[in-house]
Structure 1
């Protein structure tokens, strides 16, 4: 089946990137704990409003419309910090925008391009095009957890998080058949993103690297 991209790692890994695949798990436990978002370790996303429920910037963001059989669980809560909450909100929307482009079978869909630029936009376009070529879209439930977020004074940020794809699948647009697969260690992916706040106040993803089967993300 098709899964969310790990192929982006091949084209976005640069020496200048603050987050690399080799750094996955390389930080000390103490530094990770310091950077973790308050409330993220409770595992109960229902107790606090999702950052996306309260936009922190005035930019007119694209409307995201998704198939009813596609669901998300974001296990990170509002932090009370304006910039951090904006990064969390825009990240949620960027993830959904990619799935909307897949559902629309449009590798140049304007919604996801609102949140991705440069290398990340190029890699995401190739990823979406793969679904278009195969006439497949995403379905099921995606769970995102273990957030680690740093926002810098220069308007940049780094954000790492895990994804559980155990209940997420591909769905053939030709046959309407869901392509279910067995849950393995490879069903869990870690993502490292580098973002920058643009002149519209939107936190756009400039680089994205990922690793399937990450030890950090295993249940």
Structure 2
């Protein structure tokens, strides 16, 4: 069975049209971000591992590490507005936390619990458990690009981005069988997330939806 990368989609409370409108004026600073970066990784600005970090007066972020067998590249992941950058930073860590928990086979990952809440947290755990139940693990590489970020009228964060899964595969941990992600337009997935800020200053993903081929 080939379990595709994207997590189980969760219906977002606001309509997609409203979210798109909210994101219209809050894109990243990298003008090249309207094209998904290819295998060369041009424009990537981070490795797939993150060390624990504490913002002044804020929460201690958990350490997240990905193995060499699966890596994630982030392209154009910068914004000149520090508030919007903070949303992007925690949104990035949320995705890395899910990837790491999937590789580890750990639906109860503390990092996933830190960066998700509500329906998004339930969806993430279900997605990770699906890999565990099917004896599958992610290998290869994903490229994350085209970030669009804004702050909604209610103070929540809105973060859209694209994930190119075309260089990724799933591997059966018992048989060693590898199945590649189909090389078609559906390998590019758009994520549409809502994030809510905690009292400690962390942005948790509370709702998420995905559209395969949406990029």
Q: TM-score, normalised by structure 1?
A: 0.81
Task: Evaluate the alpha carbon distance shift between residue 34 and residue 53 of structure 1 in structure 2; reply closer, same or farther with a 3 A threshold.
Answer: farther
- Choose 116-125 or 56-65, whichever is displaced more: 56-65
| SS of equivalent to 1:111 | helix
- Choose 144-153 or 191-200, whichever is displaced more: 144-153
Q: Is the 8 A contact 1:194 1:206 kept in 2?
A: yes
Candidates 43, 46, 66, aligned match of 1:45: 43
Cα deviations across residues 161-193 of structure 1 (Å, max 9, x unaligned)? 111110011111113332224301211111100
Structure 2 gaps of 5+ residues are none
* Aligned-pair CA distance for 1:155: 3.7
Q: Which residue of 1 aligns with 2:177?
A: 177
Q: Which residue of 1 aligns with 2:131?
A: 131
| SS of equivalent to 1:35 | coil
Aligned residue pairs, count: 203
Q: Is the 8 A contact 1:40 1:147 kept in 2?
A: no
More helix by share: 1
TM-align CA RMSD: 2.7
* Aligned-pair CA distance for 1:87: 1.3
- Choose 126-135 or 67-76, whichever is displaced more: 67-76
* Aligned-pair CA distance for 1:40: 4.9
Task: Evaluate the alpha carbon distance shift between residue 54 and residue 149 of structure 1 in structure 2; reply closer, same or farther with a 3 A threshold.
Answer: farther
Cα deviations across residues 19-67 of structure 1 (Å, max 9, x unaligned)? 53xx39x957xx8653211115255425x678x7996824211111222
Q: Is the 8 A contact 2:189 2:211 kept in 1?
A: yes
Q: Which residue of 2 aligns with 1:18?
A: 14
* Aligned-pair CA distance for 1:77: 3.3
* Aligned-pair CA distance for 1:76: 2.1
- Between the aligned partners of 1:101 and 1:126, the Cα distance in structure 2 is 12
Structure 1 gaps of 5+ residues are none
| SS of equivalent to 2:61 | coil
Q: Give yes or no for the alignment of 1:4 onto 2:5.
A: yes
Task: Evaluate the alpha carbon distance shift between residue 54 and residue 89 of structure 1 in structure 2; reply closer, same or farther with a 3 A threshold.
Answer: farther
Q: Is the 8 A contact 1:151 1:157 kept in 2?
A: yes
Which aligned runs of 4 or more in structure 1 are off by greater than 4 angstroms? Answer: 52-56
- Between the aligned partners of 2:170 and 2:51, the Cα distance in structure 1 is 28
- Between the aligned partners of 2:6 and 2:170, the Cα distance in structure 1 is 13
